[in-house]
Amino acid sequence: MLSSSSAYALPVGLLSLLTLGLSGTDARATPAPLGQTISLSRRTPTRRDGVSAEEWLQQNRLATHAKYGLGTSGGQRKRASGMNALTDLQYDSTYFGSIAVGTPPTSFNVILDTGSSDLWLASDESATSRASGDIPLFDSTSSSTFKDLGQSFGITYGSGAAQGTLGSDSVQFAGFEVNQTFGLVNQTSASLLTSPISGLMGLGFQTIAASGATPFWQSLAETSGALDESLFAFHITRFTNDTSANLQEAGGTFTLGATNSSLFTGNIDYQDIPDGAPGYWIQELTGLKVNGQSITLPSGSNAWAAIDTGTTGVGLPSSIQQEVFAAIPNSQAGSGTTEGYYLYPCSTEVTVEVTWGSSSTSWSISSADFAFQQVSDNTCAGAFFEISSEGSSAPPFIFGDTFLKNVYSVYRSSPASVGFASLSSAALAVNGGNDPVPSATIGSVASVTPTSTGTTKSPVSSSSAGRAIHVTSAAALFSVFIGAFAALL
């Protein structure tokens, strides 16, 4: 469906939610056929290079991705925390970090996705035939610690399927190392890889990992004393309304095992995951105001939202979407390639306020973030797009980066909850700024602790700071190599 020259696969979290519970090659979420062509003109502040606005919108709504892996990982000795510097790709479309895999370690850029729970990497050219640019591949033969687990797997996309095998290897991320099971993708029928991204790391709970794998972060959280706190946190940046932004910009900071007090102010307002049954990072949406008007919301599980860094916009049921846009003058439902979205005059300022759980605090979504994509001279598509989670275990709402750019977000496993705090001025200063795109650094791992089920090592320091040495074996292969990771051997 996408041409190879414009094959940007954007938010991966969304349909991962919708395809949960499916396995193998079931390709249920079929993209709508391309409808009529609407004339597009670029609104300077919102560009998606290499892909037309309509393609981008459609991909945004339909893109999906894989989930696979297997249980992993063993002991852990040192209490610690670590960080990973993020890159903002394509004006807030995707945020990725960097992991290092194998022995010797090779680095890969992966989308960090709180809306799914499996790790996978492209491992074969055929997996990337429809992707744009050069996608670095994981080569299992170059790692002395790689283990083929002898199992095949399938991955469901919006428009088809991907397949590969399961393997395990040492994976380093944010200063920690875990013997992790992950998917090696050798076949895709739709594009979800965009250079320089090679795969995806799911940061949801193990209960929604398609294969039952324990996600990287959760292995550490469940290992007594491994993390200072059983949580991770995101600060992600905004470049959507920066007319001089580059395709890649500083994307913010991921922190594992701690929060970073320089990035937020005030208290972190934690609300429990409802029903104490974590899978997605669920919050109950208890308040939604658009231009000052309160939107009527369902209650209980009908108001559940996945807090999802891997989705670019905000997905919601069509009846609620209608009410949201009824509060925005001169808006109308899109059709054809903008089906599922609403269009409204770009000049309209839209204020959105969101309340979670029993909290009395509300969080705003900026008008700049609500103006998702310009589709013609004066017309914008709003970031709130229709999804239907019927028949899946996915919640009816998905709050992605459109919302998360406006807060510091914390994902805590014990007690299972999500917290939000106000961004600090230091964090806000990165938006639209000139901070460098992260580059690879190298640290060291303090201890190696093999166990019967795997190997987990703890980091030397509490940050990714380390000697700035590029990983030559890997970098040489890449036309573009960015990202930062904490602890290489």
* Residue numbers at the binding site for ligand NAG (CB under 6 A): 72, 83, 124, 126, 145, 147, 152, 163-165, 168, 179, 181, 186-187, 241-242, 253, 255, 260, 262-263, 366-368, 432, 450, 453-455, 462-463
If we measure between CA atoms, which residue out of 433, 428, 437 comes closest to residue 251? 437
Number of H helices, E strands in the chain: 8, 27
- The yes-or-no answer on residue 113 being catalytic is yes
Kind plus residue range of the DSSP H or E element containing 87 = strand 82-89
Tracing tokens 């017309």 back to the chain, one arrives at: 379
Rank residues 126 and 246 by Cβ distance to ligand NAG and give the closer one: 126
CB of 215 to ligand NAG, least distance (A): 14
Mapped onto helix, strand or coil, the DSSP state of residue 177 is strand
Which amino acid makes up residue 485? F
DSSP string covering 7-53: ------HHHHHHTTT--TT----PPPPP---------TTS--TTS-H
Rank residues 52 and 103 by Cβ distance to ligand NAG and give the closer one: 103
Rank residues 164 and 400 by Cβ distance to ligand NAG and give the closer one: 164
Rank residues 163 and 198 by Cβ distance to ligand NAG and give the closer one: 163
Sequence-ordered list of residues with C-beta below 8 angstroms from that of 141, at least 6 positions apart, any chain:
none
Exactly one of 92, 118, 169, 308 is catalytic; which is it? 308
- The yes-or-no answer on residue 401 being catalytic is no
Distance separating alpha carbons of residues 62 and 93, to the nearest angstrom:
14
Exactly one of 88, 92, 113, 242 is catalytic; which is it? 113
Phi, psi of 193 (to 5 degrees): -110, 135
Rank residues 261 and 335 by Cβ distance to ligand NAG and give the closer one: 261
CB of 396 to ligand NAG, least distance (A): 27
Alpha-helix residue ranges (DSSP H) falling in 306-465? 318-326, 367-370, 401-404, 425-428
If we measure between CA atoms, which residue out of 256, 168, 213 comes closest to residue 458? 256
Q: What distances in angstroms separate CA 282 from CA 185, 202, 431, 486, one per listed residue? A: 28, 15, 27, 29
If we measure between CA atoms, which residue out of 318, 294, 322, 316 comes closest to residue 304? 316
Residue pair 380/43 in contact by the 8 Å Cβ criterion? yes
Residue pair 254/233 in contact by the 8 Å Cβ criterion? yes
Residue pair 153/183 in contact by the 8 Å Cβ criterion? yes
CB of 243 to ligand NAG, least distance (A): 7
Phi, psi of 47 (to 5 degrees): -110, 150
Rank residues 169 and 386 by Cβ distance to ligand NAG and give the closer one: 169
- As annotated, the active-site residues are 113, 308
